[in-house]
Amino acid sequence: MIVYCVELTTGTLGLARQSIEDIRKAELIEAALAVVAEEGHDAATTQKIAARAGISAGIVHHYFGDKATLLQATMRAIRKPVALAYAENLAARGLTEPVGRAALEACLEAHLSPSILTVRRAAAWLQFAARVAYVPDYARVHSLVRYRQVAALTRAVRPLVPQQSEAAQQGMRLAVALDGYWMECATREGGLRSGEARMAIDALLSDSIW
């Protein structure tokens, strides 16, 4: 049974009209994310994803063409909350430039705070990241995400290190550590313990050089 969200498509609140297509795509992405996180990329069949979304399997191909395109869109969706949280954290600190210790903390929090680094998100991301070497579509998303991540960290860190050249190294080191925590969250039963994220952020903030 399909419910057409008329209050969304013809809402009077000035919201952009959401076509059925946009709604179905979003539902399928959310369903794919859930199935991939809970059962793994291997077990994420179109049947399961469609069933999770409450629609027929044929819909996947009607809107996305094929399963691979849906999964690529799903991978992109996983990291959006991190970027949004970073922007929010910067704004909350009144920073106009994403630079310095406060910006670094904003970035680390955007990656590690419990509201962002959930077991579901980490598990889903790991499913895609593990296939980067074999699926060019995933490699493209991954390298873009990683590039922006390292760039943000490097920029934040620049005024904190004595030499310019060290900033890039520190940015990479921090990105590697963040990856480690995401992996830990995905592979350890129950994810990170309460307070562990905060300790990790503090540890990374007090690391070595600065």
Partner DNA sequence: ATTTATAGATTGAATGATCAATCAATTTAT
Partner DNA sequence: ATAAATTGATTGATCATTCAATCTATAAAT
Q: Which does 44 bind (CB under 5 to 8 A by kind): a copy of itself, DNA, none?
A: DNA
Select from 5, 7, 11, 45 the one that contacts DNA (CB under 7 A): 45
Q: Give the interface size with a copy of itself as a residue count (CB under 8 A).
A: 34
Instruction: Verify binding: residue 61, DNA, rule CB under 7 A.
Output: yes
Burial class for 160, CB neighbours closer than 10 Å (0-12, 13-18, 19+): middle
* Residue from 5, 15, 19, 40 in contact with DNA (CB under 7 A): 19
Residue 57 binds DNA, judged by CB under 7 A: yes
**What distance lies between CA 83 and its chain's CA centroid?**
8
Residue 44 binds DNA, judged by CB under 7 A: yes
Query: Of the candidates 192, 53, 32, which has an alpha carbon nearest to the alpha carbon of residue 128?
Result: 32
Instruction: Give, as one character, the DSSP assignment of residue 21.
Output: H
DSSP string, 171-195: HHHHHHHHHHHHHHHHHSTT-SPTT
Q: Does 15 bind DNA (CB under 7 A)?
A: no
Alpha helix ranges (H) inside the chain: 6-9, 20-39, 46-53, 58-64, 67-92, 101-112, 119-129, 136-157, 164-187, 196-205
2 binds, among a copy of itself, DNA, none (CB under 5 to 8 A by kind): DNA
* Nearest approach, Cβ of residue 77 and DNA (Å): 18
With CB under 7 A as the contact rule, the residue among 32, 33, 55, 124 that binds DNA is 55
Q: Is 123 in the site for a copy of itself (CB under 8 A)?
A: yes
Window 139-168: contact mask with DNA (x via CB under 7 A): ------------------------------
> Who's near 209: CB < 8 A, 6+ residues apart?
160, 161, 162, 166, 170
Closest CA to 108 of 146, 152, 145: 152
- Residue 130 binds which of DNA, a copy of itself, none (CB < 5-8 A, kind-dependent): a copy of itself
58 near DNA, rule: CB under 7 A: yes
* Rounded alpha-carbon distances, angstroms, from residue 111 to 122, 138, 173: 10, 20, 14
| Contact residues: a copy of itself, CB under 8 A | 39-43, 123, 126-127, 129-134, 142, 146, 169, 173, 176-181, 183-184, 186-187, 199-200, 203, 206-208
| Contact residues: DNA, CB under 7 A | 2, 4, 6, 9, 19-21, 24, 43-47, 50, 55-62, 66-68
